[in-house]
Amino acid sequence: MTLLTVNSGSTSVKLGLYEPGPAGTPLRLGGEQHTGHDLDPSAVLRALAERLRPAPEAVAHRIVHGGTRFVRPTRIDAEVITAIGELSPLAPLHNPQALRWVAAARDLWGIGTPQVAVFDTAFFAHLPRVASEYALPARIGVERGVRRYGFHGLAHESMWRKWCALYPELPQGGRLITLQLGGGCSIAAIDRGRPLDTSMGFSPLEGLVMATRTGDLDAAIVPYLERELALTGDQVIELLNNTSGLAGV
């Protein structure tokens, strides 16, 4: 089976082509990266399809926010697309973009080509309560799903697996700190394959200072900016996501 992977980030997309190799390990046939905020998924995939013969037999998409529902790779259908869209307010730079690539692949290769979503939040689905829960009343935190989800899980898990391969003498890799540094940045603590904590939280806005995102911020700043700048809550979030971080300073 030839598999096309689509890693849609906040500032770029990475495409990879794989087929089964020896002992079932994936063999990378090629790949390419495109950067920019105005990429046209349909145009990029059409150009790729002209060079691909035959067409991929399946497409796998990185989806940043899967909430509490999606904790393992999931076949994409209309219901899954709707659920991913409903999580877009929590990952406005990522989930909507990923859905554009899902739609472009479906339009190009049809519904007969299966598409699968793999979720960045899945690796952190079982964080300890001390790391996953905010100090909020239970009726708001636990019952409303306001918790630390963690992101970049695919990258942190991949780093842990590579560390294990480099140091097989350490039981399941031992204790490890991993860092994902790009347009978005995060840090995670992993104990023998089990995530203990991570810097990103309810959304990919929390944590380290990033390219255009503030990272950690006193919550009182949000209503203050609403009042002082006459902005809506959504406009403040857009400011914190798109024109802050390193771009702001």
Q: Are 49 and 55 in contact (CB under 8 A)?
A: yes
Name every residue whose Cβ is closer than 8 Å to that of residue 224 and which is 6 or more positions away in sequence.
none
Q: How far is CA 151 from the centre of its chain?
A: 6
CA 48 → CA 37, 97, 120, distances in Å?
Answer: 19, 18, 25
Grouping H, G, I as helix, E, B as strand and the rest as coil, residue 118 is: strand
Residue 4, strand partner residues: 17, 59
Active-site residue list: 120
The one-letter amino acid code at 88 reads S
User: Is the preceding omega at residue 171 within 30 degrees of 0, hence cis?
Assistant: no
Position of tokens 């920019």?
A: 36
Q: How far is CA 213 from the centre of its chain?
A: 15
Q: Are 238 and 212 in contact (CB under 8 A)?
A: no
DSSP string, 42-103: HHHHHHHHHH-SS--SEEEEEES--TTT--S-EE--HHHHHHHHHTGGGSTTTHHHHHHHHH
